[in-house]
Amino acid sequence: MVKIEEYSDEEIQRACSFTDLIDKLYNQLEGQFSFEKNVKKPADFPGWQDRFRSAVIKSLGIEDMLANRGEVVLVKGDPELAVDRPKYTIEHFYIKSFADTLIPVYLAKPKGLKKGQKVPAFVCTHGHGQGKDFMMGISVNPNYPNSHWAADLAEMDCITIAMDQWGWMERGFGGLYNFVEGAYAHKMLLLGRTINGLRFFDAMRQVDYLLTRDDVDPKKIGIAGLSLGGTTSSWTAAIDPRISIALVAGYLNPFKDGIIDHNHCSCNYIPGFLKLGEMYDMAALIAPRPVCFICGIKDTTFYIDPARKAFQKVKAAYKLLGKEANCIIDECNLGHDWNGAVAYPFVKKHFFS
Task: Give the residue ranges of the chain where pLDDT is below 70.
Answer: 174-177
For residue range 23-68, list pLDDT tens digits in order. 999 999 989 999 999 999 999 999 999 999 999 999 999 999 999 9
pLDDT at 263: 81
pLDDT at 52: 98
pLDDT at 238: 98
pLDDT at 145: 84
**d(C-alpha 192, C-alpha 179), whole Å:** 21
pLDDT at 174: 67
Domains, the chain, in order of start with CATH, read: 9-351 (3.40.50.1820)
pLDDT at 38: 97
pLDDT at 175: 66
168 φ/ψ angles, rounded to the nearest 5 degrees: -140, 160
Among the listed residues 307, 313, 301, the one whose alpha carbon sits nearest the alpha carbon of residue 35: 313
**d(C-alpha 136, C-alpha 48), whole Å:** 37
> In sequence order, which residues have a C-beta less than 8 Å from that of residue 194 and are 6 or more positions away?
59, 60, 61, 62, 185, 188, 267, 270, 271
**d(C-alpha 2, C-alpha 300), whole Å:** 48
